[in-house]
Structure 1
Amino acid sequence: MEVVVRELSGLAEWTAGSALYRSVFGYTQPEFGVSPRLLAALRENSGSVIGALAGDTVVGFCYGFSAVDNGEVYHYSQAAVVAPEAQGRGVGRLLKQAQATVARATGARTMRWTFDPYAIRNAHFNLGVLGAAGIRFLPDYYGDDTDRVLVSWDLWHARKPGAPLPPVEAPAGSRSRLRTGLRERFAAGGRLTGVDQRDGRVVYTFEAGS
């Protein structure tokens, strides 16, 4: 599958990206959709609207916007999705790299997004493949049972190693124990840098935050 990653342009492509988003996440409620008009506005106002296309078919999609936290300008990536038939082909990494290019052009130094810390494959991609670092634990971010970790990805430099902290470790599937450990470690100023599964256990690696 030959894939081209670029900014999406025009109502047809924005609508295709929105449809892929709903399909991959299984959203049927209209309130969970992404408006193509919103994507048009984002693209014209320092946002990112990126697609991965196989021919004329959108098989990957991500979007985001500029944001500020205590004077720091960053790019927030709201969502990134890849069609099932295109998964495992590096499309997710290409989307993030293209989104980073857009973010740099706006003056952003970092990009942020959230992910489910109990989805180990996704966690490994964010922390191990991209080199982002978890900076905050957000319990029930979207409502009940939707814990998220906020990550920050330096768009200009590779992540520098810090002083190691005791890991958070628990049996795989033990969300309550993992949740408690993650909350405590983040509250103590830790920065999440890795996750692994060993002998039926999940191990989250932390370093001292900068």
Structure 2
Amino acid sequence: MDVTVRDLDGIAEWTAAARLYREVFGYTDPAFGLTPRLLAALRRNGGSVIGALGEDGALVGFCFGFSAVEDGEFYHYSQAAVVAPAAQGSGVGRLLKHAQAAVARRTGARTMRWTFDPYALRNAHFNFAVLGATGIRFGADFYDEPGTDRVLVSWDLDPAGRASPAGFSLAEAVVVAAGERFAAPEPADRAWLRRELVARFAAGRHLVGVVRPDGDPARVAYQFRPGDAA
């Protein structure tokens, strides 16, 4: 898809971004909305408010984030990225993330962080295989609601520092049944996988890949490495 990726500016573009955010996630409750004024504040105070516009000028993708710090590490936190259904799978998400990385570098950040649903296989593939991010923490019910488990990933803004998921042993991986779109679709499998993920992260392991072992369509393997190797 031929798109232009750039910072969004002005009330019309911020309003369009807030609308796309609600539409893609299916949010109808005002509590889950996003306001143009928040985007204005982020845009003018070191945050990222980036859009992907199609040839006709319509917004087909959007991401936003802000600067953050933890234990002395200054990083950029990517709160959300959305792509219109018609543009999904066309590389728009990758373009948005790299544009956001450029904003982060200008603020002095060396890493970018965000969370994702660890059971959603398309998201896992994008984060690990496409971008080369590293899962550094597991958040059970991250948003304080059932069904909102998340893995926090860190993305090194220097490509040389990114993790490679190649060359791992199945004996050291967490292997579980999987469908086409989600790992552990059955409740018992999901509960088991959740416990395994909690245990691996608690032991200081980092998640660097979620792959189909030997191309097996019925299973996925969560690849971990020691934290100091990520």
Provide the aligned length of Structure 1 versus Structure 2: 210
- For 1:199 and 1:205, the matched residues in 2 are separated by 17
SS in 1 for 2:28: coil
| 1:29-178 equivalences in 2 (<5 Å) | 29-54=29-54, 55-142=56-143, 143-158=145-160, 159-161=162-164, 166-172=172-178, 173=185, 174-178=189-193
**1:27-85, Cα deviation, whole Å (9 max, x unpaired):** 00011011100000001101000000012211000000000000110000000000001
Structure 2: unaligned runs, 5 residues or longer: 179-184
Deviation at 1:180, TM superposition (A): 1.0
Deviation at 1:157, TM superposition (A): 3.1
Taking the TM superposition and a 5 Å limit, the aligned residue runs for 1:6-21 are 6-21=6-21
User: What CA deviation, in whole Å up to 9, does each residue of 1:122-164 have, x standing for no partner?
Assistant: 1110011000000000000111111000000000133145996
1:178 is displaced (CA, Å) by 1.2
Letter in structure 2 aligned against 1:151? V
Q: TM-score by structure 1 length? A: 0.96
Q: Aligned partner of 1:145: which letter?
A: G
Structure 1 gaps of 5+ residues are none
- Opposite residue 47 of structure 1, the aligned amino acid is G
Any idea what SS the aligned residue of 2:173 has? strand
Q: What residue is the counterpart of 1:188 in the other structure?
A: 203
Alpha-carbon contact 1:164-1:208 (below 8 Å) kept: no
2: distance between equivalents of 1:140 and 1:125?
A: 22
Could you tell me how far 1:202 is from its partner in structure 2? 1.8
Say what the alpha-carbon RMSD is for the aligned residues: 1.5
CA contact (8 A) 2:47 2:64 kept: yes
Higher mean alpha-carbon deviation, 155-164 vs 33-42, is at 155-164
SS at match of 1:88: coil
Greater than 4 Å deviation, 4+ residue runs: 160-165
Q: Which has the higher strand share?
A: 1
Q: Which residue of 1 aligns with 2:182?
A: none
CA contact (8 A) 1:135 1:150 kept: yes
